[in-house]
Structure formats: C-alpha cells, structure tokens
C-alpha cells in the first residue's frame, strides 16, 4: 500500500508542477501580447478626448467651460503621468483683460536629465474673426481642431507612455491663452498678443533651469483633409528635428500628410520655446499652400465634423515613433 501511495503522490506532484508551469508561461505570453497591443496609439481614444473637451463648450480663458476643461485635463494627466505641475498665472491680453490662465504640465521620469517636450494649446479663441458674416464674429471658436485636437493626441500619447514607460524624461505641456491674439478687424498687428501662456512658461519654466533636447508642438492636427508642410520657423530653429520627424513619417508611409515642402513662417507656441527657452522646437500644423489655414479656421465651423481619426492616427504614430 505504501509504495502505491507514494507513487500516486509523486504523480500528482509532477502533474501539478507541469500544469503550473504551463499556466505561468501562458500568462506571461498573454502579458506580452497585451502590452504590445495596448501601447498602440488609439485614434478612437484620441477622438474621445477631443469630444470631451469640445463638449465643455469654447474654452475661452475666464469662462466656466475653460475652468471645467482645465479640471478634466489635470485629472487625465494625473492618471497617466508620474508628476503633474499646475502653473496658475494672470496674463494681460492686448485689450487689458486679465486672463486667469493655467499651463498644465504632465511629466514622465521627472528626475531624468535627458528630456523631450511635447506641447499643444488647450484654450480656444474668443472670436470667430475669420467669419465673413459680422453677426458670427463675436461667437467664440469651439476649437475642435484649433486646440482640442493637439491636446487629444497628447493625452493619448500620455496613455500609451503610462503603459510602456519611456527610458528618458518626457514633459507634456498644455499651454493656455495661445489664441487671444488681436482680432482681424483691428488695425493693430501685435504678434506678442498670441501665445501668452507659452511666453509665460518660457520665462518661468515649471522646473528651475529646465531643459529639453527638443520640442514638438501640435496645432490643428485633426482635420480630415489636413496636410503638414514644413513650417519655416521650425526649419530655421530646429532643422534636425524637422528632418527626423518628416523622415519618420515617410518610413511609416505617411508622406501624403507630412509633405516635404516649405510653407511660410507662423507665429505659434513654438516661437517663445525657441526664442526664450532656447529649446529647438518644431510645429506640426495644418497648412495649405493654396488656402493657408484650413477653411474652418477661426470660424463657427471648427467643430467635431472636421475631425478625422485617420489624421489623428497618423500624427500620433509619427510623434510616438519620433520620441522612441
């Protein structure tokens, strides 16, 4: 009896070990698959982040929608990043209005000296001054593309990075009060009236002596018919980053969007980052040689109907691949 018991006992021990081992290896294989799959940039997810921002209404500084959207963005970035910095400031607009502004920064590996900066503006413009119909000009811009699209792509990138942690530092800077520049009906032309939040950040970075190897600004990156030619200030200040990003796009087969043609120089958030913070920074922005900015730009038509998941996916892939 005894040897039989021993044999049965040993048999079960061996069988259970074999089962455990099999189970363990199956689990780890699953984990790998899951990890690879979940770090893929999801255009559906980016689209939802844009939809949520737009649902608050126009995010004009000092408005309720602006405040509510700020809370949403802080909440999302806190979910994905290692550290969050909130930079509250009062900025004076060209017309003397005091804007209660908020730059929001989410960081990965905040202690790492090697850093990359990704940015987009989250405010929307107080006036549809590109409308020909005067009655519509006082309406604020909903900014599905102009504001929400860049932020939506960056939130989705943050989600990807929270799953597959980068080995270096990444900062996601959501700038405020980019779009409070002098309206087109005014005779005044003041380039300093734009990009107030990024001007403030460049003079007062969230971390003392902040530096990054390079920066990428996303502005109007969701349009269905978007193309991204090479913006001239980007080429002037950061030619090596332009080359790297457009090359990455070509390798991914996205040269239909990332066209290797120069376009004029644009005043945008990358200017203070280049000129004041001295971080070589490019602007990925929807520009067209024939029409300039998209036709819905600074009009009541800048809503979700223009947003294309196809464009979001391509921009997301290019940026994610350019920072790896």
CB 284 within 8 A of CB 316: no
Beta strand pairing status for 83-92 and 98-108? antiparallel
For ligand AHN, the closer CB: 110 or 294 = 294
Tell me which residue of 107, 103, 135 sits closest to 121, measured CA to CA. Answer: 103
Residues in CB range of 153: below 8 A, 6 or more apart? 46, 120, 218, 221, 222, 312, 315, 316, 319
Q: How far apart are CA 101 and CA 123, in angstroms?
A: 9
Structure tokens at 230: 């090479």
**Stretch of 8-16, 110-118, 253-261, 263-271 lying at the interface with ligand AHN (CB under 6 A):** 263-271
Binding flag, residue 267, ligand AHN (CB under 6 A)? yes
Binding flag, residue 283, ligand AHN (CB under 6 A)? no
Tell me which residue of 60, 56, 23, 49 sits closest to 138, measured CA to CA. Answer: 60
For ligand AHN, the closer CB: 181 or 205 = 181
Binding flag, residue 268, Zn ion (CB under 5 A)? no
Binding flag, residue 219, ligand AHN (CB under 6 A)? yes
Place of tokens 């290692």: 82
Q: How far apart are CA 304 and CA 145, in angstroms?
A: 8
Binding flag, residue 268, ligand AHN (CB under 6 A)? yes
For ligand AHN, the closer CB: 81 or 101 = 101
How many CB atoms are located within 10 Å of the residue 211 CB?
13
**Stretch of 104-112, 131-139, 230-238, 265-273 lying at the interface with ligand AHN (CB under 6 A):** 265-273
From Zn ion, ligand AHN, none, interface partner of 129 (C-beta below 5 to 8 A by class) = none
Q: How far apart are CA 244 and CA 311, in angstroms?
A: 19
For ligand AHN, the closer CB: 219 or 248 = 219
For ligand AHN, the closer CB: 248 or 302 = 302
For ligand AHN, the closer CB: 157 or 266 = 266
Helix axes 309-322, 43-55, angle to 10 degrees: 110
Q: How far apart are CA 229 and CA 240, in angstroms?
A: 15
For Zn ion, the closer CB: 117 or 144 = 144
Considering only residues 145 to 184 of the shown chain, the ones binding Zn ion according to CB under 5 A are 146, 179
Binding flag, residue 176, ligand AHN (CB under 6 A)? no
CB 105 within 8 A of CB 120: no
Give the contact letters, 178-217, x = binds to ligand AHN (CB under 6 A), - = no: -x-x------------x-----------------------
Nearest-approach distance from CB 26 to ligand AHN, in angstroms: 50
- The footprint of ligand AHN (CB under 6 A) covers 146, 179, 181, 194, 219, 266-268
- The footprint of Zn ion (CB under 5 A) covers 125, 146, 179
């Amino acid at each position: 009896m005894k040897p039989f018991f021993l044999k049965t006992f040993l048999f079960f021990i061996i069988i259970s070990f074999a089962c455990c081992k099999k189970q363990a290896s199956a689990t780890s294989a699953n984990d790998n698959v899951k990890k690879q799959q979940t770090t893929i940039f999801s255009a559906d997810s980016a689209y939802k982040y844009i939809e949520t921002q737009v649902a608050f209404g126009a995010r004009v500084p000092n408005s309720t929608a602006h405040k509510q959207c700020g809370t949403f963005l802080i909440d999302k970035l806190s979910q994905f990043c290692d550290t969050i910095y909130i930079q509250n400031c009062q900025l004076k607009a060209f017309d003397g209005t005091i804007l209660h502004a908020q730059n929001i920064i989410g960081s990965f590996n905040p202690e790492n000296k090697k850093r990359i900066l990704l940015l987009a503006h989250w405010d929307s413009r107080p006036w549809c001054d590109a409308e020909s119909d005067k009655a519509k000009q006082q309406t604020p811009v909903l900014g599905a593309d102009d504001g929400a699209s860049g932020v939506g792509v960056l939130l989705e990138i943050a989600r990807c990075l929270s799953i597959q942690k980068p080995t270096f530092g990444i900062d996601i800077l959501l700038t405020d009060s980019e779009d409070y520049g002098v309206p087109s009906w005014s005779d005044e032309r003041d380039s300093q009236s734009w990009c107030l939040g990024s001007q403030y950040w460049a003079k007062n970075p969230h971390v003392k002596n902040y530096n990054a190897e390079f920066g990428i600004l996303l502005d109007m990156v969701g349009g269905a018919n978007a193309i991204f030619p090479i913006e001239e200030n980007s080429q002037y200040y950061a030619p090596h980053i332009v080359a790297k990003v457009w090359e990455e796009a070509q390798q991914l087969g996205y040269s239909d969007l990332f066209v290797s043609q120069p376009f004029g120089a644009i005043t945008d958030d990358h200017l203070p980052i280049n000129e004041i913070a001295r971080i070589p920074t490019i602007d990925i922005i929807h520009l067209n040689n024939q029409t300039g900015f998209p036709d819905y730009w600074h009009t009541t038509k800048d809503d979700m109907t223009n947003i294309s998941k196809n464009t979001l996916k391509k921009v997301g892939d290019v940026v994610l691949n350019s920072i790896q």
